[in-house]
Structure 1
Amino acid sequence: MAQVLGLRRLQDYFQGTTSLIGASDPVWILGVCYEGCSSPKGEGPPTLKQEVLNAILSDLMSRIWMTYRKGFPAIGNSGITSDVGWGCTLRSGQMLLAQVLLHHLVGRQWRRKLEAAFPEEVAQILHWFGDQPSEQRPYSVHNLCAAGHRHGVRAGNWLGPSGLCNTVEAIVNHVQPGGLRCKVVASSGGGAPVMCAPRIGAVFQGSEKAAAAGPQSATAAAVGAAAAAAVATAGAGQLAGAQGLLLLVPLMLGPNGKVNSRYVPQLQEVLQWPQSAGIVGGRPSSSLYFVGHQGESVLFLDPHEVQEVAAEASDLESYFCSQLRLMPLANIDPSLAIGFYCRSLGDFQDLCDKLRRLEEKSGGAPLVSVTDKDEAEPSWPSRTDEVLSDEGMSDCGTPRDPGQREEWEVL
């Protein structure tokens, strides 16, 4: 009975599609592979083994899901109390960041247990994303709008992956939860961005200033203390004093709203790496969060569901997906952002090696080029006011005035 229930629930997750249920291709979810066919070749249609389906279901049920919300306090002076119709990119970015925080502070192996209380550190992570203008909610839509104002983020306006990446970089580096830093690798002139490995790797060697976005304010320090408190409860404090890196790569992978087919196998491969934090992408003007793939279909969480603002501890269940969908990878919008999470310098070096090998196989069209030449110009902004706008991307972000300098802090 339990196996039948698990299969039905997995079918519900995929909204009636049987492409995953009846296929023998492995399923990849944020770098974890699930494979195992129950039917030998020639003996009926291939299906995944029941224990594999159960493991997939457990993993999917443990992915943090952000959606449109309504009824939250107004964002700044805008009077806006809902992000319905404009906040899907912010919600997709919240999902990517939430998964990274979960990996960084709790571990990739954590699995949600139905009808059981959430571990304190998981509840704390969810608490940080609550839709309130508060220093105790550093990653709320309110604080993302404040942090992203200079990057073209406006409450009520849709934005694209590039503006999102710069916003996430600014707010993560401002708070640095559990020592986590964020870097954006981007190119303003088209083509593959160039990543200077020694510059990025310096995050783990302690050679960068502690506050990449400038001195921490009192409010940022307070939120950082809250993050440290959550770290202390995670794995007997094993992450206390740890460092980690969230690497974001905004890309344009084709003209006219279509991904160049040369990039499709590369996107499949990066979703298989243990450093994968997923991809913020979607359809034109409709952002989604891609968490994995099966064959040439991509698995995604969809933020386009409206929920009431989460106000009580009992509302934490609303942060976990009730539906997960598939779509052909070739059909996604070419404007997207790839996320990687590296727990250590060795993890980052392994990522660089993987990117180099991927470039060698790319036929001259890599996602990212990696260089060890420290004298090269950094491909990521050295200051948070030196950012790339979404100009030229397939989105509606408002380009920043290059001369604009604007201070912000967690509300």
Structure 2
Amino acid sequence: MNPSVSSSRCEGLSPADNHMDDWHMVSSESALPQVLEVSRDEQEAEDRGKLRSKLVSAWNSVKYGWTLKQKSKFNRSSPVIMLGKSYELKDQGERECFRHSFVSLLWLTYRRGFPPLAGGSLTTDSGWGCVLRTGQMLLAHGLLLHLMPPGWTWSVSHHAVKDDMDLESRPTDSGQSSQEWPGKRVRKLSLGSLLVRPMEATHRRTVSWFADRPTAPFGIHRLVALGKSSGKKAGDWYGPSIVAHILQKAVAASADLPNLVVYVAQDCTIYLEDVKRLCEQPPPQPWKSVIVLVPVRLGGQELNPAYITCVKKLLTLQCCIGIIGGKPKHSLFFIGFQDDNLLYLDPHYCQPTVDIAEENFPLESFHCKYPRKMAVSRMDPSCTIGFYAKGQKDFESLCTVVTEALSTSAETYPMFIFAEGHGQEEERSNTPTNNIAYIQRTSERRRVDTSNSMDEFVLL
């Protein structure tokens, strides 16, 4: 799918780029195991720590505008492209379809009040866990594609979500009235309830995998534990490249997804033999499904303009499951665009932890009602791009359409490439821990020490 996109005025990101430091750092040595009884001073210190955590969480929510419920304006005369699908907002039916598709995406944000993370006393990831949360969202979308039938949307959204988009020059709808629509939708759901129930059970189970508790396979506790091998701990900032490798390890260790693997590209290169090695199974079993993650850095301090068209092209592909990235303290999950603005889900909203052990635990806080957008030129160059292929033929198609989309950046260096053969043996199974990035120039590759950098990327 290659929808045409007209130009329009750009709308910037509501939070300021040069905001105050909101990192929440707590010492991992705050607990002393040799003390059997908690003194009054220690109890007061713990209470102060909890109060500080709540204040930092509240400040982050205020700073990023969520308490104001700001809404982005959408131009009804231009299509919205979201994760490979195009929606004409001037048409009521397509506008409803876009809204339901958007609300069905899993929204993973900062949380507070979860069990303390290992090695310290942190009970919130507010101020430092945004890249982990955007990584969770990217993986969650891949899992929904893997587990749900094509075109699935969250059934609750059909009658729980109102028209929250602010459309420029919105006309009076000529079709069904808003009073008639919910009733008919509810009747439709009741007729199909027998089909909806199994999908809702899978949806709820998928949400539970990202719960904020130590046993969840893709929860914040598990991701932080897997980050230790890369020299990261709770309270640190996790770059998009590190998070890609953490997700790869988390899926590999999960017994719930035996037919899904994650491949992380090396040196901006997807090595086809390595993907084949991961996905092939003994006959007659089919290929495993694969999520391909490509960490890149598309410029220095700002996004190279040559890659703007390429980024938008990739988001028009149905195999693309989104882009995670952003500077420290502000990572976003990009899912589409309208004109010259990117659509995104923002993790910078601190919510109370949900107890998934509760029967029929509430799902509303895992779904966002308000689409947001920002000028694509303001996208931070540090990012990881995700793709999903159900089987071997889907992966071959992925290679074809992605290569075509990447050709738009041929005048500079390609964002990344596909290559026959294997990557370097010592990098295939483990996350790099020596902070070495590789800059590829045609057939020449040289090593660059990035030990003083926060990112582990290939610079283009």
Q: Fold-level match, TM-score > 0.5? A: yes
Aligned twin of 2:417: 369
Partner-residue secondary structure (3-state), 2:362:
helix
Work out the CA distance in 2 between the residues paired with 1:17 and 1:272. 21
Partner-residue secondary structure (3-state), 1:361:
helix
1:50 maps onto 2:88 in alignment? no
TM superposition shift of 1:359: 3.9
Aligned twin of 1:179: 259
Work out the CA distance in 1 between the residues paired with 2:434 and 2:149. 32
Letter aligned with residue 342 of structure 1: A
Work out the CA distance in 1 between the residues paired with 2:229 and 2:396. 32
Letter aligned with residue 29 of structure 1: M
Distance 1:77 1:92, change over 3 A: same
Letter aligned with residue 399 of structure 2: C
TM superposition shift of 1:179: 1.1
1:204 maps onto 2:279 in alignment? yes
TM superposition shift of 1:113: 2.0
Distance 1:385 1:68, change over 3 A: closer
Q: Give TM-score, length-normalised by structure 1.
A: 0.75
1:303 maps onto 2:347 in alignment? yes
Partner-residue secondary structure (3-state), 1:315:
coil
Distance 1:155 1:241, change over 3 A: farther
Distance 1:180 1:89, change over 3 A: same
Partner-residue secondary structure (3-state), 1:28:
strand
Letter aligned with residue 341 of structure 1: Y
Work out the CA distance in 1 between the residues paired with 2:295 and 2:376. 17
Q: Is the 8 A contact 2:306 2:412 kept in 1?
A: no
Aligned twin of 2:364: 317
Work out the CA distance in 2 between the residues paired with 1:268 and 1:179. 30
Distance 1:355 1:320, change over 3 A: same
User: Which consecutive unaligned segments of at least 5 residues does structure 2 have?
Assistant: 1-65, 161-188, 190-196, 438-449
Q: Is the 8 A contact 1:152 1:163 kept in 2?
A: no
1:27 maps onto 2:80 in alignment? yes
Aligned-residue identity in percent: 30
Q: Is the 8 A contact 1:258 1:334 kept in 2?
A: yes
Cα deviation, 1:192-228, whole Å, max 9, x if unaligned, reads x122223213333227xxxxxxxxxxxxxxxxxxxxx
Instruction: Identify which of 128, 138, 144 aligns with 2:209.
Output: 128
Instruction: Identify which of 145, 149, 174 aligns with 2:228.
Output: 149
Work out the CA distance in 2 between the residues paired with 1:398 and 1:56. 35
Distance 1:203 1:383, change over 3 A: closer
Instruction: Identify which of 301, 306, 314 aligns with 1:270.
Output: 314
TM superposition shift of 1:398: 9.6
1:63 maps onto 2:105 in alignment? yes
Cα deviation, 1:302-343, whole Å, max 9, x if unaligned, reads 001111101133332211113221001110110001000111
Work out the CA distance in 2 between the residues paired with 1:131 and 1:32. 31
Structure showing greater radius of gyration is 2
Instruction: Identify which of 150, 160, 165 aligns with 2:244.
Output: 165
Partner-residue secondary structure (3-state), 2:114:
coil
Cα deviation, 1:36-58, whole Å, max 9, x if unaligned, reads xxxxxxxxxxx621112111111
Partner-residue secondary structure (3-state), 1:97:
helix
Work out the CA distance in 1 between the residues paired with 2:126 and 2:227. 18
Aligned twin of 1:245: 290
Distance 1:380 1:171, change over 3 A: farther
Partner-residue secondary structure (3-state), 1:200:
helix
Instruction: Identify which of 194, 206, 215 aligns with 2:269.
Output: 194
Distance 1:204 1:300, change over 3 A: same
112-121 vs 91-100, which moves further:
112-121
Q: Is the 8 A contact 1:185 1:248 kept in 2?
A: yes
Instruction: Identify which of 324, 332, 348 aligns with 1:288.
Output: 332
Structure 1 segment 62-81 matched on structure 2, within 5 A: 62-81=104-123
Q: Is the 8 A contact 2:279 2:287 kept in 1?
A: no
Q: Give TM-score, length-normalised by structure 2.
A: 0.67
TM superposition shift of 1:14: 8.9
Work out the CA distance in 2 between the residues paired with 1:182 and 1:387. 19
Aligned twin of 1:214: none
Distance 1:348 1:75, change over 3 A: same
TM superposition shift of 1:165: 0.7
Letter aligned with residue 185 of structure 1: A
Q: Is the 8 A contact 1:68 1:307 kept in 2?
A: yes
Cα deviation, 1:368-411, whole Å, max 9, x if unaligned, reads 11122x2x535993212556748749974699xxxxxxxxxxxx
Instruction: Identify which of 338, 348, 361 aligns with 2:385.
Output: 338
Cα deviation, 1:227-261, whole Å, max 9, x if unaligned, reads xxxxxxxxxxxxx9872101111111011x20000
Work out the CA distance in 2 between the residues paired with 1:113 and 1:385. 39
Q: Is the 8 A contact 1:335 1:394 kept in 2?
A: no
Partner-residue secondary structure (3-state), 1:264:
helix
Q: Is the 8 A contact 2:212 2:220 kept in 1?
A: yes
Task: Count the aligned residue pairs.
Answer: 334
Aligned twin of 2:70: 15
Distance 1:359 1:318, change over 3 A: closer
Letter aligned with residue 307 of structure 2: Y
RMSD: 2.9
Work out the CA distance in 2 between the residues paired with 1:367 and 1:398. 15
